[in-house]
Amino acid sequence: MDSFLLQVTAGLANGGIYAAVGLALVMIHQATHHINFAQGEMATFSTFIAWAMIQAGVPYWLAFVATMVVSFVAGLLIQRIFLKPVEKAPILTNVIVFVGLLVIFNAFAGWIFEHTIKSFPSPFPVEGMFLAQYFSGHQIGSISVTLVVLLSVFCFFRFTPLGLAMRAAAFNPESARLVGIRVSWMLALGWGMAALIGAVAGMMIAPIVFLDPNMMAGILLYGFAAALLGGIDNPWGAVVGGVILGVLENILGAYVIGSDLKLTMALVLIVTILIFRPYGLFGKPIFSRV
Amino acid sequence: MSAIFKKIILAVAVLAAVLLPFVLEDFRVFQLNLVLIYAIAILGLNILTGYGGQISLGHGAFYAVGAYTSAILISQVGMSAYLTIPIAAVVCLVMGVLMGFPALRLAGHYLALATFALAIATPQLLKYKGIEHWTGGVQGIILDKPTPPFVLTLFGNELSEDRWLYLVILAIALGLFWLAHNLLSGRVGRAIVAIRDQPTAAAALGINLTFVKTATFGLSAAYTGIAGALSALAVAYIAPDSFPSFLSISLLVGVVVGGLGSISGAIFGALFIQFVPNIADEMSKSAPWAVYGGMLLALAYVAPDGVMGILQKLKKRRQS
């Protein structure tokens, strides 16, 4: 029983990360109906920036915040520079740009920071603060940080005028433009926030999986699955989906299929969801008129 | 240009291609083999993505399946290397059709996502312990290159294993390019393009969407599978690390460089992904990928139709 509970708690911690990555994907998908294939590599790159700062002697939390700011600005700039020119281009062009960004971030992460596997510090104590037999300190810390991020995102969208404007821009761009919202800038803001959330996810997962340029590939896959499971247009769905997947992954990995096929499991999940319930558990079916 | 003149040029080009390996060193011939193989794979992906408009970021998986089919049949069953190529094609055709069914329901980004997941999961799947006695696990499978069936010396160079393989691959590549050209310039090709551009109108005109889309996926996978099988023969060694997730992206780079929806562009794409990394590699291990990414971005903005698009524009400008 105890080992089962340990799997569940480890799953919760991973689930929080998947939820964050899923949320980042949902943010961009909601606004632009694009799936950001570069999300994982952007997060990895952000994590490398944090690592470099910590190596240089910057205190952890300062580096943490600085990385969030840098990632936000970088995400914003990426949308302005790379995505805006192809906003109206065919889907294929957009996918090519996303893949191009993925490859560039991966290459530069390897070029600047090298391919050796690095350990990334955790700011939390080794021992858990409570329920120490089930949670490690990092797990509790990672879950709390993820929760704080998710709550702030929720409050931002729910209670601030800017959040309202962003929701309006995503929901109905034409009408939003008519009431004076700068829709294109709202998209850029969404990109910045997605990059920021991704960076947090990267910094929280790096102590567990270690840091290298390909760190996020598998995690991104689970982030996709989380977003799809919850319904790719539903932020809460992505969070719930992420937590469900994290627990499911660990339990299935420990008792049913072993750890060798975790990525295949994500693949099967993604394809199954897309075929049988493309709008996810909590999304609404989309119909298109001829 | 008259039709006869075109045919003469084509014949001369084919003759030159046949004689080419005899004036090059073995290593260069080996590189050319890979170029031809990539060209076949890129053509396969282009049939699906360029003509069919179905985005696949996971064609490396079909390449890997083709290579493993061939290698397993040779090493475990003791089959003749040449026989394994059509079998690999059939296996990938079936796999492609199976993948094509979900693809029917997935448009645009979602198909890209599903195939992207396939690309990421493939290397781990190849290492899976449950199929280790077939695939050789992380160690992979070592093969012998097929020996040339006769002795021949041209321009002072004998028909080595690599040169013989070059001729085999060239013959297969020519056949496949000819097939693709005939298919795509006829009724089938128009149906594929019609579905890409106007699915509703295409269905209204009596095109069987389900059949054409799954068949396109199958055909595309079969092409890439044949390329994979040939790569197993040309390299004479396969392991999971020969098929990283980024292989699928390389193929996409090849398609974009050559030109979406162009048959002969596949050659340019193949030359690009074979030789550019070698050159860029001298700067840094990561440089080839930086170049790939830069190319993808640059072409998406500046020349969405790739090398063939640029060539056609130049041709038009000269004529006018």
Count A/B contacts: CB-CB distance under 8 Å: 140
Verify whether the Cβ–Cβ distance B120 to A85 is below 8 Å. no
The Cα of B194 is separated from the nearest Cα of chain A by a number of Å equal to 16
DSSP 8-class letter at A34 = -
Among the partner residues A260, A264, A267, nearest to B129 by beta-carbon distance: A260
- Label residue B200 by pLDDT band (50, 70, 90): confident
Three-state secondary-structure class, residue A257:
coil
Residue A93, domain member (yes or no): yes
Span A193-206, mean pLDDT? Answer: 90
Report whether pLDDT(B193) > 80. yes
Percent of chain A with pLDDT strictly greater than 90: 13
Taking CA atoms, what residue in A is nearest to B281? A111
> Which residues form the domain of A106?
2-113+144-213
Q: Given this model, what pLDDT does residue A117 score?
A: 84
Verify whether the Cβ–Cβ distance B121 to A221 is below 8 Å. yes
DSSP 8-class letter at A23 = H
- Label residue A115 by pLDDT band (50, 70, 90): confident
Q: Give CA–CA dist B117/B58, Å, rounded.
A: 7
Span A18-44, mean pLDDT? Answer: 86
C-beta neighbour count of B5 within 10 angstroms: 9
The Cα of B127 is separated from the nearest Cα of chain A by a number of Å equal to 8
Asked if B63 and B251 touch (Cβ cutoff 8 Å), the reply is yes
Among the partner residues A96, A115, A221, nearest to B296 by beta-carbon distance: A96
Mutate to test the interface with A, among B54, B59, B116 (most CBs of A within 10 A): B116
Q: What is the pLDDT of residues B59-74, one digit of tens each?
A: 999 999 999 988 888 8
Asked if A265 and B109 touch (Cβ cutoff 8 Å), the reply is no
Q: What is the pLDDT of residues A203-233, one digit of tens each?
A: 988 888 888 888 888 888 888 888 888 877 7
- Label residue A289 by pLDDT band (50, 70, 90): low
Contacts of B195 (CB under 8 A, 6+ apart): B52, B53, B202, B207, B209, B212, B213
Predicted TM-score of the model (pTM): 0.87
Q: What is the pLDDT of residues A173-183, one digit of tens each?
A: 888 888 888 88
Verify whether the Cβ–Cβ distance B125 to A92 is below 8 Å. no
Residue A67, domain member (yes or no): yes
- Label residue B35 by pLDDT band (50, 70, 90): very high
Verify whether the Cβ–Cβ distance A100 to B112 is below 8 Å. no
Q: Which residues of A touch B294 (CB under 8 A)?
A: 100, 104
Mutate to test the interface with A, among B248, B297, B302 (most CBs of A within 10 A): B297
Interior CA angle at B141 toward B138 and B142, to 5°?
130
- Label residue B209 by pLDDT band (50, 70, 90): confident
Verify whether the Cβ–Cβ distance A95 to B294 is below 8 Å. no
Q: Which residues of B touch A115 (CB under 8 A)?
A: 285-286
Q: Which residues of B touch A40 (CB under 8 A)?
A: none
Report whether pLDDT(A130) > 70. no
Q: What is the pLDDT of residues B165-183, one digit of tens each?
A: 898 999 999 999 899 888 8
ipTM for the predicted complex: 0.84
Q: Give CA–CA dist A107/A120, Å, rounded.
A: 20
More confident residue, B232 or A170: B232
Residue A87, domain member (yes or no): yes
Q: Give CA–CA dist A203/A146, Å, rounded.
A: 11
Report whether pLDDT(A133) > 70. no
Verify whether the Cβ–Cβ distance A270 to B113 is below 8 Å. yes
Q: Give CA–CA dist B304/B3, Å, rounded.
A: 29
Interior CA angle at A89 toward B43 and A189, to 5°?
125
Q: Given this model, what pLDDT does residue A111 score?
A: 86
- Label residue B220 by pLDDT band (50, 70, 90): very high
The Cα of A116 is separated from the nearest Cα of chain B by a number of Å equal to 12
- Label residue B198 by pLDDT band (50, 70, 90): confident
Q: Which residues of A touch B290 (CB under 8 A)?
A: 103-104, 107-108, 111
Q: Give CA–CA dist A23/A242, Å, rounded.
A: 9
* Average per-residue pLDDT for chain A: 84
Residue A100, domain member (yes or no): yes
The Cα of B122 is separated from the nearest Cα of chain A by a number of Å equal to 8
Span B288-298, mean pLDDT? Answer: 84
Q: Given this model, what pLDDT does residue B77 score?
A: 82
Taking CA atoms, what residue in A is nearest to B197? A90
Asked if A201 and A43 touch (Cβ cutoff 8 Å), the reply is yes
Report whether pLDDT(B223) > 90. yes
Span A261-279, mean pLDDT? Answer: 81
Q: Which residues of B touch A110 (CB under 8 A)?
A: 285-286, 289
Q: Which residues of A touch B293 (CB under 8 A)?
A: 100-107
Q: Which residues of B touch A34 (CB under 8 A)?
A: 109
With tokens 């292989």, the residue in question is: B247
- Label residue A290 by pLDDT band (50, 70, 90): low
Q: Given this model, what pLDDT does residue A63 score?
A: 92
DSSP 8-class letter at A116 = S
Q: Given this model, what pLDDT does residue A129 score?
A: 61
Q: Give CA–CA dist A186/B250, Å, rounded.
A: 33
Q: What is the pLDDT of residues B97-117, one digit of tens each?
A: 888 887 777 777 888 888 888
Q: Given this model, what pLDDT does residue A77 score?
A: 92
The Cα of B294 is separated from the nearest Cα of chain A by a number of Å equal to 7
Residue A28, domain member (yes or no): yes
Span A127-137, mean pLDDT? Answer: 68
Verify whether the Cβ–Cβ distance B300 to A100 is below 8 Å. yes
Asked if B303 and A100 touch (Cβ cutoff 8 Å), the reply is no
Residue A157, domain member (yes or no): yes
Element (H, E) at A104: helix A91-113
From residue B50, alpha-carbon distances to B61, B112, B262, B269, B305 in Å are 19, 14, 7, 13, 10
Q: Given this model, what pLDDT does residue A128 score?
A: 60
The strand pairing partners of A211, in sequence order, are A118
3-state secondary structure chain B: CCHHHHHHHHHHHHHHHHHHHHHCCHHHHHHHHHHHHHHHHHHHHHHHHHHCCCCCCCHHHHHHHHHHHHHHHHHHHCCCHHHHHHHHHHHHHHHHHHHHHHHHHCCHHHHHHHHHHHHHHHHHHHCCHHHHHHHCHHHCEECCCCCCCCCCEECCEECCHHHHHHHHHHHHHHHHHHHHHHHHHCHHHHHHHHHHHCHHHHHHCCCCHHHHHHHHHHHHHHHHHHHHHHHHHHHCEECHHHCCHHHHHHHHHHHHHHCCCCCCHHHHHHHHHHHHHHHHCCCCCCHHHHHHHHHHHHHHHCCCCHHHHHHHHHHHHHHC
Asked if B164 and B146 touch (Cβ cutoff 8 Å), the reply is yes
The strand pairing partners of B158, in sequence order, are B153
Residue A178, domain member (yes or no): yes
Taking each helix axis from N to C end, the angle separating A137-159 and A161-171, rounded to the nearest 10 degrees, works out to 80
Verify whether the Cβ–Cβ distance A274 to B125 is below 8 Å. no
* Average per-residue pLDDT for chain B: 84
Q: Give CA–CA dist A53/A114, Å, rounded.
A: 16
